[in-house]
Amino acid sequence: ETGVTQTPRHLVMGMTNKKSLKCEQHLGHNAMYWYKQSAKKPLELMFVYNFKEQTENNSVPSRFSPECPNSSHLFLHLHTLQPEDSALYLCASNQIIAGATDTQYFGPGTRLTVL
Amino acid sequence: KNQVEQSPQSLIILEGKNCTLQCNYTVSPFSNLRWYKQDTGRGPVSLTIMTFSENTKSNGRYTATLDADTKQSSLHITASQLSDSASYICVVSPTYSGGYQKVTFGTGTKLQVIP
């Protein structure tokens, strides 16, 4: 295990539902990320939190709402999603250090299906 | 625009055979390049990392090479095993300039090792 956990592992929801994805890192890192992975496309960065502050919002629709209550936990709140939002949602963490880009450690992902 | 292209898109090889995956990038200025392995339904796991000055890096049966002049990298897998079946993702980081570094992901090569 990489020290990054995600729940749930699988989620099926209707377009009118509200659900949340949870990520927890046990590595003492100061940065956490949400990525979307769709078939045959590169990982798409959605959000970045550095020291609990959101430093990147990669033009993500407002139906995705992140929350980072502390440096170890990250949530992705979902509401009124569309079928094209079905994908694997990956959480990652790393240590942002002056002068270096540290390796990101990924969680196992949440497979989301929107009906 | 920073891009990372990988080839082939998919590959099937017999168990015990060797194979080489390719990665071409246009990220500039360049800092480092990582190869990740992603098992089906799991998050990516880092295999190797190479900086500008490194030409080759090994991790067991995995050997990565880097030519920073031509902006090409390869991942060579020796004596393949069934457990090598996965997607292999090339990830390139730009030179650090403070704060969060936006890395560029390739689309991955899906490798299937058959008995």
pLDDT tens, A7-23?
Answer: 999 999 988 889 999 99
Q: Helix, strand, coil proportions of chain B in percent (round to 5)?
A: 5, 55, 40
Least confident of A51-60, A106-115, B28-37, B57-66: A51-60
**Measured distance CA(B55)–CA(B60) in Å, rounded:** 17
The residue of chain A nearest to residue B30, with distances taken between CA atoms, is A101
Average pLDDT over residues A32-58: 85
- Which helix (H) or strand (E) segment holds residue B44: the answer is none
Is A96 within 8 Å of B100 when comparing Cβ atoms?
Answer: yes
The residue of chain B nearest to residue A92, with distances taken between CA atoms, is B43
Which conformational region is residue B82 in: left (phi greater than 0), alpha (psi within -120 to 50 degrees), or beta?
A: alpha
Quick check: B101 contacting A, CB < 8 Å? Answer: yes
% pLDDT > 70, chain A: 94
The stretches in chain B having pLDDT less than 50 are none
* Nearest by Cα to B44 from A87, A106, A49: A106
Quick check: B107 contacting A, CB < 8 Å? Answer: yes
Q: Is the pLDDT of residue A96 over 90?
A: no
Q: In this predicted model, which residue has the larger pLDDT, A1 or A17?
A: A17
- What does the longest C-alpha to C-alpha distance in chain B come to? 48
The helix/strand/coil state of A10 is strand
Q: What is the total residue count of chain A?
A: 115
